[in-house]
C-alpha cells in the first residue's frame, strides 16, 4: 500500500481514470475502510514528453482524480493528500517507450499521524 501502485491508468494526456483501474482502486478502498486511521498521499507522475508545467498540472489532476474516486466511494477526503510530481521523479529511462510507461504512474505514501492526533 506504499509506493508505485500498478494498474491505475488514465486516458492519454487526460485525468480520466480508465475503468480497468477499478479493481486496484476498490482494493485500496477496502484497505482504507479496514484501517480508518490511515492517511495517504497520492502522487501523480508523468514521463518527460511535453512541457514541464503541463506535466506537473496533469500529474496533479490525476492525483486529484484518484482522491475524488476515493471520496465518491465514501472515504473522508481529509485522509487523502495529493501531489503532482510531473516528470521530476523518474523511476526509469525516459528515452525508451517502456521507461516512459513506467514513469507514468500513481504512488501512495502512508502519512504519519500528526503530534496533535497522538
Q: Say what the pTM is.
A: 0.91
The answer to whether 106 touches 69, Cβ cutoff 8 Å, is no
Q: Would you call 107 helix, strand, or coil by DSSP?
A: strand
Picking from 20, 104, 8, 27, the residue whose alpha carbon sits closest to that of residue 65 is 8
The per-residue pLDDT for 91 is: 96
59 Cβ contact list (under 8 Å, min separation 6): 43, 44, 45, 46, 84, 85, 86
The pLDDT value given to residue 1: 78
* Mean pLDDT, 10 residues at a time, the chain of 118 residues: 90 92 97 96 97 98 98 98 97 95 95 60
Q: What's the pLDDT score for residue 113?
A: 63
Amino acid at each position: 500500500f506504499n509506493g508505485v501502485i500498478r494498474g491505475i491508468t488514465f486516458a492519454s494526456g487526460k485525468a480520466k481514470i480508465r475503468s480497468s483501474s477499478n479493481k486496484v482502486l476498490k482494493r485500496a478502498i477496502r484497505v482504507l475502510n479496514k484501517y480508518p486511521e490511515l492517511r495517504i498521499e497520492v502522487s501523480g507522475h508523468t514521463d518527460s514528453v511535453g512541457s514541464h508545467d503541463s506535466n506537473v498540472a496533469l500529474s496533479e489532476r490525476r492525483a486529484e482524480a484518484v482522491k475524488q474516486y476515493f471520496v465518491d466511494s465514501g472515504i473522508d477526503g481529509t485522509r487523502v493528500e495529493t501531489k503532482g510530481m510531473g516528470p521530476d521523479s523518474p523511476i526509469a529511462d525516459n528515452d525508451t517507450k517502456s521507461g516512459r510507461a513506467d514513469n507514468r504512474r500513481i504512488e501512495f505514501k502512508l502519512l504519519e499521524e500528526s503530534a496533535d492526533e497522538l
